Structure 1
Amino acid sequence: MGSVSVILKITTAGMFTDYPIPNQYPSVAGLTLGADGNLWFLESQGGAPVTTGARDVNQSIVAEVSPSGRFSEYPLATSFMTPSAMTTGPDCNLWIADVGTNDVVRISNGTANRYQIPTPNSDPTAIVSGADGNLWLAESDAGRIARVTTSGNITEFPTPDGSEPWGIASGPDGNLWVSASQRMLPGGPGEVFKMTTSGAFTSYPIPSAKRLASQELLRDPRPGMITPGPDGNLWFIALNNLDRITTSGVITQFLIPPLANDTGSSLGSIVSGPADSMSYIGESTSSAREQPMVGSLT
């Protein structure tokens, strides 16, 4: 039986509510809190939709879900090859990183404006609004962090030692925080960078990930997405770990239990949710969960 894409909401009292995504696409990513208070995310075919209906099998979707679980979906033009990440910009527009076309895309009033990334095949995996009023982009294959102005001007900064950035967040200290893997150490636990908006980096190594019983033989993965939490810290994903890093660089790891009938798939997108919770998406199960900040991460 195939996986089913759902949004799972959990209250701080531990009550779950399932909201099945209306049209099933196997790839769900790019979770972001919109200026309207709804959660926005990307759905793409990853080969073909689970259920096609009258849709174009090569089409990707921008979708939103309200706090009450009401979904709306907006098909993207077929010129979007592989949208990989999305954020709400300082201009209140949605900004999308498109791996397939190596573009950064601004969606404004339903119109897509494209800006080519200078380094070819850069693999843009994450995008975020910075405290300086610009967008910031993680380029995994290029080993660079890019600054994107709201008018589309792009400046790139190489990461230390060519490390591969995966996620990027704007921290409460005004700096950028980047989850990355060390290119020279494939399969290593990775690191988190603090980056100033002028391009200075500080590195914090990530401890080896905690594991479920089914994951004992897995090597440490590169860390996933990173986001600021309502507690003033940064939170990121590694394997089935939800990790917290303070702005002084102290890392604490929490092992996330799997969903029912799941052996513990890797987790991907993460965003600060309502009521002091963290929302995250399981990459293999295509489900989203909200984890309370207090009382359940032990």
Structure 2
Amino acid sequence: MPTTTPGRRAPRRLPAAAAGAVLAVAAVTAPARAAAGEVREYPVTTVAGAAPAGLTTGPDGALWFAEHGAGRIGRMTADGAVTDFPTSGPDTGPAEIVTGPDRALWFTETAAGRIGRITATGRLTEYPVPTAGSAPGGIALGPDRALWFTEAAGNRIGRVTAAGAITEYPLPTPDASPHSIAAGGDGALWFTELRAGKVGRITTAGRITEFPLPGGGFPAGIAAGPDGMWLTASGTRSVDRIDYTGHVTRFGLPGPDSLPSGIARGPDGRIWYADGAGRIGRFGATGAVTTFPVPDGGAKVPLRLTAGPGGAVWFTELLGNALGRVRVPGR
């Protein structure tokens, strides 16, 4: 049975923290660097060690984010004002968050093995994932108006309805460690398999196809673009594009220290990514990359990002205990 708790405040502590695909390598263009002033940061003022992770823009126009280190869900307005709501405990490990079909915010609790739902007023409901120790991570709204999520330790893709009914689909590859998931333009859900080095596709009927990532790498974040799915691959310091037939194009990133993680389509229609080495990157129409440095960003670990208020791209700083904003060029 789900548990329901009203929003409240309390101190928190930081817990220990495709087959036959063809690879095409894109030319790497020297990046254009934007001024550091293009980035503005907003601290999470409600709790130290919040470790902001997943991020989305809610139906109310505010930013909602998962406080992985504090067991809370945060809300930030465009001017940086923060309100947060606790989950059922400090060590639940909220990871990713998305707006559901019911205008509530849905999120994964990696440590607790649950899917959470919270309303704009802070009313919380949590649904246990049937597979014990499943470690749910990524979550996305599907074309069937259900929420789909990855189970990193359970090696499954899960589906939860707005009423809380959960169905699980085991992956063909053992120990694949499914990571992130996103709805594609082909009516299916696409996900990354971090340990297996594959990209998966699951239909709303539960049929799974897997595409090995040529050239290796550890696929992590994934998002729909105008021409297929885009994903980050940390082991190869690249961002890859896979079309709906399984053809992969790899785009190398500037800098020998690149650690790409989150990826999203910005308000300008371009693909943006978060680089844990301390910058935010943007792909132009020709594939050229522009980087936006985050002040002292290597110590802050930019992690996830989304199109947000003010026509900007917003991102979380996992260790910086802040959210950041990048003004989109030309806006």
Report which structure shows greater RCO (CA 8 Å, sep ≥6).
Answer: 2
Query: Partner of 1:253 in structure 2?
Result: 291
Query: Partner of 1:9 in structure 2?
Result: 76
For residue 194 of structure 1, report the CA deviation from its aligned partner: 1.5
In the alignment, structure 2 segments of 5+ residues that lack a partner are 1-12, 15-48, 51-66, 68-72
Whether contact under 8 Å (1:169, 1:228) holds in the other structure is yes
Which residue of 267, 272, 282 maps to 1:235?
A: 272
The answer to whether 1:41 aligns with 2:107 is yes
Please say which of residues 129-138 and 199-208 is displaced more in the overlay. 199-208
Please say which of residues 156-165 and 82-91 is displaced more in the overlay. 156-165
Q: Secondary structure at the match of 2:101?
A: coil
Query: Partner of 2:327 in structure 1?
Result: 293
1:131-146 pair list within 5 angstroms: 131-146=185-200
Whether contact under 8 Å (1:273, 1:290) holds in the other structure is no
Query: Partner of 2:129 in structure 1?
Result: 77
Please say which of residues 72-81 and 108-117 is displaced more in the overlay. 72-81
1:87-98 pair list within 5 angstroms: 87-98=140-151
In the alignment, structure 1 segments of 5+ residues that lack a partner are 46-57, 184-189, 209-218
Distance change (3 Å), C-alpha of 1:154 and 1:94? same
Query: Partner of 1:31 in structure 2?
Result: 97
Please say which of residues 235-244 and 72-81 is displaced more in the overlay. 72-81
Structure-2 separation of matches of 1:290 and 1:93: 30
For residue 79 of structure 1, report the CA deviation from its aligned partner: 2.6
1:139-178 pair list within 5 angstroms: 139-171=193-225, 173-178=226-231
Identity %: 28
1:163-217 CA-to-partner distances (Å, cap 9, x unmatched) read 221111100x23111111346xxxxxx1111111001111110111xxxxxxxxx
What RMSD over aligned residues (CA atoms) do the two structures have, in Å? 2.8
For residue 241 of structure 1, report the CA deviation from its aligned partner: 1.5
1:97-136 pair list within 5 angstroms: 97-108=150-161, 109-136=163-190
Which residue of 297, 300, 303 maps to 1:265?
A: 300
Structure-1 separation of matches of 2:92 and 2:319: 9
For residue 73 of structure 1, report the CA deviation from its aligned partner: 3.8
Whether contact under 8 Å (1:123, 1:139) holds in the other structure is yes
For residue 265 of structure 1, report the CA deviation from its aligned partner: 2.6
For residue 114 of structure 1, report the CA deviation from its aligned partner: 0.6
Amino acid at match of 1:193: D
Query: Partner of 2:234 in structure 1?
Result: 181
For residue 42 of structure 1, report the CA deviation from its aligned partner: 2.3
Whether contact under 8 Å (2:313, 2:325) holds in the other structure is yes
Q: Secondary structure at the match of 2:81?
A: strand
Moved over 6 A (4+): none
Count of residue correspondences: 259
For residue 247 of structure 1, report the CA deviation from its aligned partner: 4.8
Q: Secondary structure at the match of 1:62?
A: strand
Amino acid at match of 1:74: E
Whether contact under 8 Å (1:43, 1:63) holds in the other structure is no
For residue 274 of structure 1, report the CA deviation from its aligned partner: 3.8
Distance change (3 Å), C-alpha of 1:204 and 1:242? same
Whether contact under 8 Å (2:202, 2:208) holds in the other structure is yes
Query: Partner of 1:54 in structure 2?
Result: none
Structure-1 separation of matches of 2:245 and 2:285: 18
TM-score, normalised to structure 2's length?
0.69
Q: Secondary structure at the match of 2:299?
A: coil
Distance change (3 Å), C-alpha of 1:294 and 1:278? closer
